[in-house]
Structure 1
Amino acid sequence: MGSAAEPLSRLGRGYIYAIHGYFSEMLFTTFVLDQAWTFRAATSLLSLVVYGTCGLALERIYLRLREKWCLLTRCLVYTLCIYLWEFSTGSVLRLFGACPWDYSGFRYHLLGLVTLEYGLFWFVGSLLLEKLVICNALRLRLDEAWKPKDKPFPKFALTED
Structure 2
Amino acid sequence: MASRSRRTEESPEVEASDESDKVDASRDLPPWMRLYFYGMHGVTLDVLVSSLQGVVNDRDPKLVGFSSPYMCVVHSLTHLALEKVYSQKRCFEGRPVVFHLVFYPSVYIGLQLLTGKQVLSGAHLILHYLLALYFSKVFHKGVSKLRYHPSRSGPPPRRLPGCLRFLFFGMHGFLDEVAFTSAFNLVENSNRSLRGHTSLWSFLMYGSCSFVVEKLYLYLHFSRGWGTWRRLPIYICFIYTWELCWGLGLRQFGACSWDYSHYPHNFMGLITLLYLPGWACLSLYQDVLSNVLLRIRCTEETKTTSKRD
TM-score greater than 0.5 by the shorter chain? yes
CA deviation map 1:94-121 (0-9, x unaligned):
1111111111111110000100110011
Cα separation, 2, equivalents of 1:16 and 1:108: 32
Residue of structure 2 aligned with 1:124, choices 269, 281, 287: 281
CA distance, structure 2, for counterparts of residue 117 and residue 77 of structure 1: 18
Displacement over 6 Å in runs of 4+: none
Aligned match of 1:72? 229
d(CA) in 1 for partners of 2:214 and 2:295? 12
Moved more, 52-61 or 135-144: 135-144
Contact 2:169 2:211 in 1 (8 A): yes
Residues 1:59 and 1:145: Cα distance change in structure 2 (over 3 Å):
same
> How far apart are the structure 2 equivalents of 1:92 and 1:138?
32
- Alignment check: 8 A CA contact 1:31 1:37 kept: no
Shift of 1:147: 6.4
Structure 1 position 34, deviation (Å): 3.7
Query: What is the CA distance between 1:139 and its match in structure 2?
Result: 2.4
Residue 260 of structure 2: aligned partner: 103
1:81 is paired with a residue whose SS is: helix
C-alpha contact (below 8 Å) 2:185/2:194 kept by paired residues: no
Of 213, 219, 223, which residue of structure 2 is paired with 1:58?
213
| Equivalent residue, structure 1, for 2:159 | 7
Larger RCO (CA within 8 A; separation ≥ 6): 1
User: What does residue range 11-160 of structure 1 map to in structure 2 within 5 Å?
Assistant: 11-35=163-187, 36-67=191-222, 68-131=225-288, 133-146=289-302
Cα distance in 2 for partners of 1:34, 1:90 equals: 26
Length-normalised TM-score, structure 2: 0.45
Provide the C-alpha distance between the structure 1 equivalents of 2:180 and 2:200, rounded to a whole number of angstroms: 16
The 3-state SS of whatever aligns with 2:194 is coil
* TM-score normalised over the length of structure 1: 0.83
**What is the count of residue pairs matched by the alignment?**
151
State the alpha-carbon separation in 2 of the partners of residues 33 and 117 from structure 1: 17
- In structure 1, list runs of 5 or more residues that go unmatched: 154-161
RMSD of aligned C-alpha atoms? 2.4
| Residues 70-125 of structure 1: per-residue CA shift (max 9 Å, x gap) | 10121221111110110011111111111111111111100001001100110011
**One-letter amino acid of the structure 1 residue matched with residue 229 of structure 2:** L
CA deviations over 1:42-96 (Å, ceiling 9, x no partner): 2211100100000111011111101421101212211111101100111111111
Check conservation: 1:16, 1:137, Cα contact below 8 A.
Answer: no
Q: Distance in 1 between matches of 2:232 and 2:169?
A: 17
Cα drift, residue 152 of structure 1: 10
Identity over aligned pairs, percent = 35
Q: Report the more deviating stretch, 76-85 or 3-12.
A: 3-12
Deviation at 1:145, TM superposition (A): 4.0
Distance (whole Å) between structure 2 residues aligned to residue 144 and residue 120 of structure 1: 41
Is the helix fraction higher in 1 or 2? 2
Distance in 2 separating the partners of 1:134 and 1:32: 27
